[in-house]
Amino acid sequence: MNNFIPYIQAKTKLSIVEKIGQLFMPAAFINDSEEEILAIEKLIKEHHVGSLCFFHSRASAATNFEGKKKIVYNEDSFATLKKLIQRYQSAAKYPLLISIDAEWGLAMRIENTPQYPYAITLGAIPNKTDLIYKVGQQIAQDCKAAGIHWNLAPVVDINNNPNNPVIGYRSFGEEKHNVTQKALAFIKGSAHEGVITCLKHFPGHGDTAVDSHLGLPLISKTKGDLVANELFPFQQLIHEGVPTIMAGHLSIPALADGDTIPSSLSKKMLKNLLREEMNFKGVVISDALNMHAVSKNYPVKGELEWLAFDAGNDVLCFAENIEEGIQTILKNASHSQVEESFERLWKLKEMAFKACDKPSKLSEASIVNKEIARASLTLFKGTTGSFNTQDIIGLEISQSKRPSIFIKTLADKQTFPLVSTFENSVEVMRQQTKNEKNILLALFPPKAKPANLFDIPKEQLDLINELFETKNVILYLFGNPYVLNHLQIDKAKAIVIAYQNFKEFQETAAQFVLKEVEASGKIPVSIT
C-alpha cells in the first residue's frame, strides 16, 4: 500500500459508524458472479468494512463444506483472486485487510498454487523446526503475491480425539510441546515476510467429536485439565507476542463458570480468561459467524454480531448481517468498547501495510516438500527388511484412474508384479494374491477427513484386513494416519506412514523401499 502514510493520518477522521464498520469481515468468493461482486463492493463502500476473508466459492465455504452443492474448479483462480483484491481495494475508502485460510498454503482455497503438507505431517518431523519455519515463510510469500495480509493459521488445537471430524490432520498432533514448537516456527517464518498469523481455535477444538460448522461441540473437561493441555499452546504463544487469536465456537462450561454458551460469545472466556488471565493484548477474531454452532440460534439480524462483539471479538468474521450488526452495536455498545476494538484493529492494519511494499512472487514448494517428505517418513511398525523384494507382489489401493508415482517408481527398478485398483476390481485383486505370501501394499485414502471411513470403500478395507490376516503385509500409507484405527494393524508385518500423496512423498517412500533413504519421522498422534 503506497498510501500507507495518509491512511495512518486518516485514523482521526473516521466517524463512530465507520469505526464499527471496520470491525466487520464479510466473506468474499473467488468464483462469484458479477452481481455478487457488485454486492460486496456496495458493502465496502456503504458500510466501510475493514477486512475481507476469501474463500474459493460459495459452494465450498464454511457450513456447506460438507454439502452437496457442486464446486466449480477454476484454473485461473489465482489471477482472479488478485484482480478481485485490487478491485475491492479500489472500492474502499480505507484500505482493506485481506485474509484467507492458508494452513497448508493458498492451495487450501485456490487451484494451481503451491501446496505444502498438512500440519499432522509437519508434526511428525522430530525437532527440525527450520523446515516448518520455511513452510511458514513460503506460504507468506504466496499470500503477499496475491495481496493477502493475514493468514488465518496456524491451528494450535491439540488433537487428542481420533474421531475429531474437522481438526485431525490440521493439527500438529496430540502433544502440547510439539504443537507449540511447530506453531511457533510457522509463525516466525510468516513474520519474516511480514504476513500476520492467527492462532485458532481458542480455547481448543482438538478434543471434540462434533464439527462446529454443523453443531456446537461440548467439552466437559475441568479447568485444570484445560489449562494444562488445551490452553498451553495459546498461553506460550501469547508470551511470544502472537498478534491475533481466533475464538472458536465451543461450549466449555469449566471455562465459563458452568455456562454452556459458545466460547465465541462468552465474555468469561474472551474477556476474563483470554484478556485478563492469559494477558492477550492483540486482536481477537471470531470464527465464521455463519457456522451453525452459533448462527442457527440467533434469527434476529444483528443480534449475533452484537453478542460476538460484546463478548470480546474485535473482528467479526463471515458476518452476514452487516448493516443490522453495525446499527445494533451502535445502539448497545459503549464508546470505549468501540474505541478499544478499533484501536487494536487499526494497529494490526498498520503492521500489515508496513510489510506489503515488499515485492513477492509465488514460491516453489517442491524443494522444501522433498525435505519434509524425508524428515517425516515414519516406520510405525516392524522392519521393511522382513522379506526380499523379489518374493513379493505389489498392490495399490486408491481411487485414481492411473498408477501412482510410488508404484511406477518401483516398477521401473523392480521385477515383482504390481496390481492396482485403477485397473482391477477388489475380487480380481483377491484372486491375484491368493497364492502369494508376501505383499507390499500402498494405500491412498481418498480423503483426509474421517467421515465415511475417509471415503475408502468398505470392500477395500475388508480386503486390506483380510490380507493382514492371511499374508505377510508391509503397508505404505499415503494419507491421514488415523486411517490405521480402522485396520487390523496388529497383524501387519510392517507399516510405513508417508502422510501425503504428493509426488515428493511417493518418491521418498519408494526410495525407502529400495533402501536409499531412512525413515526418521515419529507419528504425532496415538493409534488405538
In the chain, the amino acid numbered 144 is K
Q: Please, which residues bridge with residue 378 across strands? A: 497
Contact 85, 104 (CB under 8 A): no
Query: What is the pLDDT of the chain when averaged over all its residues?
Result: 92
Residue with cell 451502535: 330
pLDDT surpassing 70 at residue 387: no
Question: Running DSSP on this structure, what letter comes out for residue 51?
Answer: E
Instruction: Using pLDDT thresholds of 50, 70 and 90, give the confidence band for residue 2.
Output: very low
CA distance 528 to 517: 28
Contact 104, 116 (CB under 8 A): yes
pLDDT surpassing 60 at residue 323: yes
pLDDT at residue number 148: 97
Task: Give the CA count within 13 Å in the CB-facing half-sphere of 327.
Answer: 7
CA distance 180 to 158: 9
Mean pLDDT of 416-424: 80
Percent of the chain with pLDDT over 90: 80
Tens-digit pLDDT profile for residues 201-255: 999 999 998 888 889 999 999 999 999 999 999 999 999 999 999 999 999 999 9
- What count of other Cβ atoms lies within 10 Å of the Cβ of residue 127? 11
Mean pLDDT of 18-46: 97
Mean pLDDT of 327-347: 98
> What letters, b where the CB count within 10 A reaches 16 and e where it falls short, cover 354-392?
ebbeeebebbebeebbbbbbbbbbbbbbbebeebebeeb
- Closest-CA residue to 526 (of 203, 234, 149, 120): 120
The stretches of 276-365 forming alpha helices (DSSP H) are 292-295, 303-311, 322-332, 335-355
Tens-digit pLDDT profile for residues 324-336: 999 999 999 999 9
pLDDT surpassing 70 at residue 385: no
Residue with cell 492462532: 199
DSSP notation for 86-136: HHHHHH-SSPPEEEE--BTBGGGTSTTS-----HHHHTTS-S-HHHHHHHH
Of 274-278, 406-410, 504-508, the poorest mean pLDDT is in 406-410
Which class for 40: exposed (0-12), middle (13-18), buried (19 or more C-beta within 10 A)?
buried
The reply to whether 213 belongs to the active site is yes
pLDDT surpassing 90 at residue 318: yes
CA distance 62 to 210: 15
Residue 393 phi/psi, 5-degree rounding, is: -125, 140
Which residues, 6+ apart, have CB-to-CB distance to 375 below 8 Å?
A: 125, 126, 128, 131, 520, 521
Tens-digit pLDDT profile for residues 53-112: 999 988 765 544 445 567 777 889 999 999 999 999 999 999 999 999 999 999 999 999
Residue with cell 505431517: 121
Catalytic member of 149, 205, 213, 249: 213
3-state secondary structure of 434: coil
Tens-digit pLDDT profile for residues 249-262: 999 999 999 999 99
Q: What angle do CA 397, 401, 402 make, to 5 degrees?
A: 80
Catalytic member of 101, 287, 310, 314: 287
Residue 179 phi/psi, 5-degree rounding, is: -60, -45
pLDDT surpassing 60 at residue 146: yes
CA distance 380 to 481: 10
Residue with cell 452481481: 35
